Chains A and B, each alone.
Chain A
Amino acid sequence: MDAKLDFLRELGNIGASHGTTALSKMLHGERLTLVVPEAEMLSFSELGNFIGETEEIVAGVYVRMTGDAEGHMAFILPYPSAVTLANMLTMGSDTELTEIGKSALLEVGNIMITSYINALSALTNLTLYPSVPDIAIDISAAIWQSILVNAEIADQVTLIKTIFTTPNKIELSGRIIFLPTEAGFAKIAEVLGLEEF
């Protein structure tokens, strides 16, 4: 179990560092710090607690991964960070998310997630495709729950999340989520010779 979680964390590290490098470039070299990725295996009832009862508003970009291994990926930002990032990308100074800000976030999320998927693909030699992306601004629990419903979770889910922050004064943090399907995870482990968990 520990070896499996270590492996998942490493996947998260490789994928998310590619994603955040892409974001850093778009922010003209603004340095982003990755917090050590967390990998968790949660049961369906644990997921309920994990999602929580808070009514925090977040921005979520969601992409489905298809091809040799399937999964679900999301880029989730607390609302204040989403506004900050949108302003940085559009050179704006808005206090709320505008339509232009939203489409900038959608594009950034798409690039980050695609970089993550490309890194996974290079590592495993598997052909992996990102779907078209979509963005929602809503209660955190509603966004999580919609992704889990799309993933049609049975009794257990593997969740890899990487949090990033900026070391500078700007308030910016977010997380990249990778939720492989059971078969998708087995496939990645298999090609990397790690099926013996």
Chain B
Amino acid sequence: MQEVFVNMGQIRVLQTSGILTTVGLGSCVGVTLHDPVAKVGAMAHVFLAKSRPERDPNALPGKYADTAIPALISQAIAKGARQERLVAKLAGGANLFANLATNNLSIGAQNIEAVIQQLNLFKIPIIGKDVAGNHGRKMRLFIESGIVVVTTAGQESIEI
């Protein structure tokens, strides 16, 4: 089966079958969209919450939550998905180095909040999530079923 890896800041879309995988989500957030009827799945690997056009003008749209979610939706639609059928799942947003947090809300937590806010804006329901904590995760979306499997080092995988 085709397995496509999604690196930091990237967005990838598959239809019919295959797996979208992102390895090593730390404070980044993995977001998947799935249309169960069209069997279209999309994944983004979000790095930070808010885009910084002055400092980072040529950033990939998938890098920042505020640009990633609109781009993820339109790329899924371009492959045949319908917006009203899309459902979302999230993983990541952890805080591996808690001692170093400079304010109350870790960067991981800010990333989760920004992604949820964007999905709400587009009225896309979040039907599964495995977020926060202090450990890294691997996230895999199976296009045919829409199942997302999240793996944490040294633990059993879970389905969300």
Interface residues of A (CB under 8 A from B): 44-45, 47-49, 51, 53-55, 57, 62, 64, 131-134, 136-150, 152-155
A55-B153, A139-B153, A155-B59 in contact; A146/B23 too (CB < 8 A)?
no
Query: Beyond the given A138-B26, A146-B96, could you list 18 further A-B residue pairs with CB under 8 A, ordered by the A residue number?
Result: A45-B60, A49-B7, A57-B153, A132-B100, A139-B138, A140-B24, A141-B24, A142-B26, A142-B96, A142-B137, A143-B136, A145-B27, A145-B28, A146-B26, A146-B95, A148-B47, A150-B27, A155-B59
Interface 9-mer from B48-56, B73-81, B116-124:
B48-56
Which chain A residue lies CB-closest to B47? A149
Interface residues of B (CB under 8 A from A): 5, 7-10, 21, 23-28, 47-48, 52, 55-56, 58-60, 63, 94-100, 107-108, 111, 134-138, 153
Main secondary structure of the interface of B (DSSP, over half): loop
Contact between A134 and B138 (Cβ–Cβ < 8 Å)? no
Which chain A residue lies CB-closest to B102? A64
Cα separation A55 to B56 with both chains bound (whole Å): 29
Contact of B24 among A44, A51, A62, A154 (CB under 8 A): A51
Contact of A134 among B23, B24, B97, B136 (CB under 8 A): B97
Contact between B58 and A53 (Cβ–Cβ < 8 Å)? no
Query: Smallest distance from the beta carbon of A78 to chain B beta carbons, Å?
Result: 13
Contact between A138 and B58 (Cβ–Cβ < 8 Å)? no
Cα separation A141 to B8 with both chains bound (whole Å): 10
Contact between B23 and A141 (Cβ–Cβ < 8 Å)? yes
Cα separation A23 to B107 with both chains bound (whole Å): 32
Cα separation A147 to B136 with both chains bound (whole Å): 12
Contact between B96 and A136 (Cβ–Cβ < 8 Å)? yes
Cα separation A143 to B26 with both chains bound (whole Å): 7
Contact between A149 and B153 (Cβ–Cβ < 8 Å)? no
Contact between B107 and A150 (Cβ–Cβ < 8 Å)? yes
**B94 contact set on A, CB distance < 8 A:** 142, 146
Contact between B28 and A149 (Cβ–Cβ < 8 Å)? yes
**B97 contact set on A, CB distance < 8 A:** 62, 134, 136, 146-147, 150
Query: Smallest distance from the beta carbon of B64 to chain A beta carbons, Å?
Result: 11
Contact between A134 and B100 (Cβ–Cβ < 8 Å)? yes
Q: Pick the 6 closest A-B CB pairs, nearest first.
A: A142-B136, A141-B24, A48-B7, A146-B26, A134-B99, A142-B26
Cα separation A40 to B15 with both chains bound (whole Å): 37
